[in-house]
Amino acid sequence: MGASQSSSSSSTSTHEGKFDVFISFRGEDTRDNIKSHLFRALSQKHIETFVDDRLIRGDEISSALLRAIEESKISVVIFSDDYASSKWCLRELAEIMRYKRMNKQIVIPVFYHVNPSDVRKQTGSFKDSLANHKQVSKQELQAWRDALFEASNLSGWDSSVTKPEARLVDEIVKDVLNKLNGISPLSDSKGLIGIDSRIEKVKSLLGIGMSDFRIVGIWGMGGIGKTTLAEAVFDQVSGEFEGCCFIGNVREESEKPGGLARLKEEVLSKLLEEENLKFRTPNIPEFVRRRLKSKKVFIVLDDMTKLKQLEVLAGGIDAFGSGSRIIITSRDKHLLSYCGVHEHDIYEVKALDDQEAFQLFRKYAFDQDHPSEDLMVFVRRVVVYAKGNPLALKELGSSFYQKTKLEYESAVQKLKKICNPEICNSLRNSFDGLDYEEKEIFLDIVFFFKGRDRNYVTTILDDCYSSVHFSLSVLIDKSLITISTTNEIEMDDLLEEMGWEIVCEESSSFAGKRSRLNNHEDLCLVLNRNSETDAVKGIVLDMSKIKDIDLNYESFEKLYNLRFLKFYYQTHCSGHSMYTPKVHAPHGLKCLPDELRTLHWHGYPLTTLPTDYSLENLVELNLPYSNLEQLWEGIKVAPRLKLLILCNSQKLTSLPDLSYSPCLEVINLEDCISLSEIPSSIQHLDHLYFLCLRGCESLRSIPSSICSLGSLYHLDLSNCPKLDKLPENLRNLLSLKYLFLNNCRLKEIPEDIGCLSSLEVLELCGNSFGSLPTSMHKLSELKRLLLNNCSMLQSLSKLPSGLQSLEAMNCKQLQSLPDTSELAEVVTQRFIKEYERAFPLSICLPGSVIPDWFDYQKIGSLITIQLPRDNRKLVGFALCTVIAFEKYCDDGRGVSVGFKNHYGDTMDFCGSLTVCDSQKHNRTISIYSDHIVQGYYPFSNVTGFISVEFYPQNFDGQPLQGCKVKNCAVCPLYAKEVTETRIFSDETDTCGSGSGSSRFDDEEMNPHPKIIAERKLTLLIDNKVIPFYCTFRNNVGLLLFYCWCFIFCLLCGIFVVGLLGFLVHHLSTSCEIYLSSHVQNMHVRKI
């Protein structure tokens, strides 16, 4: 880039693909004026722009910069008075024009306060500048002259003609957008079959460039491609506007509590380019209205169903500036007209033609480009059946994937039997192909289990059907449901609506003859009519959408076959509404249906379950925020009950005898603040694996019988302030993996806690014990130990060898620390053995002094170092920084230290070092003192200068307020080879500030080939220093194989550095030590 030497930070935009724009400029002339203004304007239009503001200058252009030029679609060359004085700029220009001649790039010249004729003829300042390049060869000088001549003859922009400068920048940006649209339109080649012509029709309706305000509607049936078309149009024309936003799925989002208000804030935030915009009143302030009215905006509202949505989200016709455009997609043409869209401004999305439909089906049904000839006849029949509906073609294509000819023939014959010829039957086709049980499970998912965990669903349905697991796999194969990465069952909205329609078709006149009910009015009619309604199998009602309902005494008496009863609030509801029941039974309930498998009643209004209710078939009893005082009187048998959830039932004082519910797997009694005891009969629950008693404020003790629960793996007793001791014989909880004992009154931890051989997570925060039992080191599986706010804790015993995370914040009396040498040995072993996993090392502890073994140290957040010329054995960098927490308040989104390297041509790596992960554990953490953060980042093949910048951020990548970087340090690590690991303590060494100068000795400058890596690590806990050395060795087994390969390669004459690089790549591992936090993976971004 044409700029004088600069090592300062830059706002260069990078991404994995090609750049949209490369800006060539002379920094001394343009950096603080047109270049910065142009870069900002391009960035606001989301145009990926490469600006080389951070490179250390020289005469030669690096390979990374050449690559950036090659990967850019457009180069904007800013010719200024001093442009030709820079060899860097001229060589840059020569490369740009070389790619221009190869038809690989568009070039836009900008003549900034220079005469285009001077550039073309090399007169004036350009003549003088070229004459000064006396050491350049004639051949290269001529190449520069040719490039200047060619570039100046191109159509461009002259600052003396287009002015003022703000207008010049706007015109350049428009020019770039037009050219980008011309060379990279959203086309069929990107998999959107048949969309180009449709885009052009919608764009013609928009009338881009005209000054009037216009609303365009996109109308069509479900699955026809309205959203896809709107997205494609948005991508192409949004750059023409001053503000733009795309709001998807308006219908579903607006139906959530407060959803429409959140969407409104999102629209305004995007249009005004202000994050997290909030208003205290529903009305938009007048100054905001004025700002909107002066802006030319583009808004897409996808899947609108009500006029109110438009009124709230987009206001009236006079809400925005002239030339503004709104696109509304909807299945309801009448709604579009009602919203003020003229008939001629509504675009109806038609079905794909035969050729387009065939291409789309082929894409999903075949790996190869064309199906075999013997299948073509069947393919044509399927395509004709789908009637050009894109969703139907995708669904059918997926179901026909890798099918045989016989299977095709059989399936096509089945399609002929579908009586309804409309396109939407392509969705119904998959449903009709299911057997009875598969259909029932599909409808159950539609009404009760969409978005729920797959394991939970199978637990509930296993007692209703004979082959739930198989049926779910069939539904997945037929694309009726999908399983998310978090194991949740998901379903397309169109399929969900199809399920609702199927149930409505069961009876159009009386809801009591339908199998499932989810409508408020239908439900009231059925429950209070007291007529026989044996058809009803399930009732579901979202109470956030209804007003109060009063049930009569016999509401459920004749619902003989009811299996699912669900009165619930959406999970994101909060506040007082979570405690307010809306389904009342003022006269009590005579009974509940005996066939119930799931009883989920949020805010259950009675103090106990009906006396005559049999629990024989019940699998889930879920009564959160209930009015229960006791579950039932006397003894009741619940042989199938697996889930008992009574959280926030604040009047519940006791539990019944649970020995008659032997299949219980989950008990959640969180925040049952009146519960004073747990029955000893809990010992008979052999299948219980989850027990949560968190927040049971009246609970004074835990029965010793709880130690008989051999299957228990999750036990939470946190926030039980009256609990001062644990039961004996914890050693019997052999399956326990998670034990939470935060904020109790525990004065001691039982010695036999060391016998919990499966324990992985132990949280003991906020207790009153002075020390941990000596048996703690026996917890071989323990990965995480939390001791925050243990004010009486004075010493830490020997730590378990497998420990990965230890937090001990605000332990103010902590005096003695454990011996870490064995822990260091294990850490080193893990570093070697787990070489296939590439996780960097991260350590965070209280402290304010950077260890003196860091070769380079500096006050502030940016450090620049010079590396040796012969740097082939560099394997990475040790990084360190001191963070000052001044007025920091944790918002629950975690704390990390981001870092990025500015090397050579551009940013070569970036990542973060974790400070505390409050986000992961859903809790806030108070930090009162400075913290030192150390980490390792693998990197190689770096020479010359390198700059590393550190910055505090949360886990969303947003900068943190109230904390700053005080000091930072970098230490290069070099490849060496040894066959043994040496780990030893150095009691005499302490942490020092360092001088900031280079401390390479001869061995570091020329590393011995026998050593892989050796660096001293200094760990701190509450300002206590534990120095030790860590040298990584080649162990036996797999690494021995690499040693033999190394010897063999030497004999074959293969260069040793290649093998070392190979080893280093595989030895970058997941050594995840923290002492006060957790490892966060860091990702390399390379240009």
Please state, as a whole number, how many other Cβ atoms lie within 10 Å of the Cβ of residue 468.
18
Give me the sheet containing 19-24, strands edge to edge.
49-51, 19-24, 72-79, 106-111, 157-158
Interacting residues of 1062 by C-beta distance below 8 A, sequence separation 6+ = none
**Distances 1041 to 737, 777, 929, 1037 between C-alpha atoms, Å:** 36, 33, 47, 7
Please, are residues 565 and 539 in contact by the beta-carbon 8 Å criterion?
yes
Find the distance separating the first CA and the last CA of the chain, reported in whole Å. Answer: 16
Six-digit token string for 329: 């997609």
Q: For residues 232 and 15, what is the distance between their CA atoms, to the nearest angstrom?
A: 21
Q: Measured between alpha carbons, how far is 594 from 1011 in angstroms, rounded to an integer?
A: 73
Q: Please tell me what DSSP assigns to residue 187.
A: -
CA-to-CA distance for 365 and 416, rounded, in angstroms?
20
Residue 590 DSSP one-character state? S
Torsion of CA 1047, 1048, 1054, 1055, to 10 degrees: -10
In this structure, are residues 449 and 457 in contact, taking their beta carbons and an 8 Å threshold?
yes
Please give the Cα distance from 639 to 619 (Å, whole number): 9
Question: Which residues form the catalytic set?
Answer: 92
Q: Spell out where 302-402 has E strands.
A: 325-330, 346-348
Give the closest residue to 891 by CA, choosing from 844, 790, 959. Answer: 959
Q: What's the per-residue H, E or C state across 813-877?
A: CCCECCCCHHHHHHHHHHHHHCCCCCCCCEEEEECCCCCCCCCEEEECCEEEEECCCCCCCEEEE
Backbone angles phi, psi at 758, to 5 degrees: -100, -5
How far is it, in rounded angstroms, from Cα 314 to Cα 164?
33
Burial class (CB in 10 A: 0-12, 13-18, 19+), 679: middle
192 alpha-carbon distance from chain centroid = 26
Q: In degrees rounded to 5, what are phi and psi of residue 912?
A: -155, 150
Q: Containing H/E element for 427?
A: helix 425-432
Cα 230 from Cα 232, distance rounded (Å): 5
**Six-digit token pair at 997?**
């100068």
The answer to whether 913 and 1080 are in contact (CB under 8 A) is yes
Distances (CA, A) of 764 to 416, 725, 813, 1082: 66, 13, 16, 29
* Longest alpha-carbon distance in the chain: 105
Q: Which helix (H) or strand (E) holds 407?
A: helix 405-415
